[in-house]
Amino acid sequence: MPVDLSGTWNMVSNENFEDYMLALGIDFATRKIAKMVKPQKVIRQNGDNFTIRTLSTFRNYLVQFKVGEEFDEDTKGLDNRKCKSLVTWDNDRLTCVQKGEKMNRGWTHWIDGDELHLEMFCEGHVCKQRFQRA
Ligand code: VL7
């Protein structure tokens, strides 16, 4: 049975988000607000097709993709960059490489116990988030 990340997840911890935002060049005012919010992840996993919504009182972000198929990602409302993104399974970890202006950029999701984990990385900076089912 493959891992199923589907569900509605509430953020319970967020480490090093400031460094990650700095690496992405997010301005001071936006960072101050962004680090106050506790986003919710709403994930729909249907075979190889995914919809991941990151929802907050400040901004929302939507990404849709098929595992193994590179797609054009526009990080609109975040750092507003264009990436060629590719999501694959690395064993039980759903891993995205976001090829673009920023080096070594991407994220990885996995489940450990009843928690959803997310690491987002950019140019050597790693932000670590944990979520629990809503
Ligand atoms: C998306 C934010 C910092 C701008 C607002 C931040 C708070 C959040 O891409 C993401 O998740 C992946 C994996 O689940 C799927 O798209 C995370 C949030 C990262 C980066 C940029 C700060 C402004 C609002 C929407």
User: Does 65 fall in a domain?
Assistant: yes
Give the mean pLDDT of the chain.
Answer: 97
Residue to mutate (ligand 1; options 35, 54, 63, 111; most atoms within 8 A of CB): 54
User: Does 2 fall in a domain?
Assistant: no
- Into how many domains does the chain fold? 1
Rounded to the nearest angstrom, the distance between the alpha carbon of 46 and the centre of ligand 1 is 22
User: Does 134 fall in a domain?
Assistant: no
d(CA 27, CA 118): 23
User: Does 49 fall in a domain?
Assistant: yes
What is the predicted ipTM?
0.97
Look at ligand 1, atom 13, and give the residue with the nearest C-alpha: 107
Q: Measuring from each residue's beta carbon to the nearest atom of ligand 1, which residues come in under 6 Å?
A: 21, 24, 26, 30, 34, 37, 39, 41, 52, 54, 56, 58-61, 63, 78-79, 107, 118
- Enumerate residue ranges in the chain where pLDDT < 50: none
* pLDDT of amino acid 1: 66
User: Does 101 fall in a domain?
Assistant: yes
CATH of the domain at 38: 2.40.128.20
d(CA 86, CA 58): 27
Burial 79-96 (b: 16+ CB within 10 A, else e): bebebebbbeeeeeebbb
* pLDDT of amino acid 2: 78
Asked if residues 52 and 41 have their Cβ atoms less than 8 Å apart, the reply is: yes
Structural domain boundaries enclosing 91: 7-129
d(CA 65, CA 53): 12
Tokens, residue 2: 């493959």
pTM of the model: 0.97
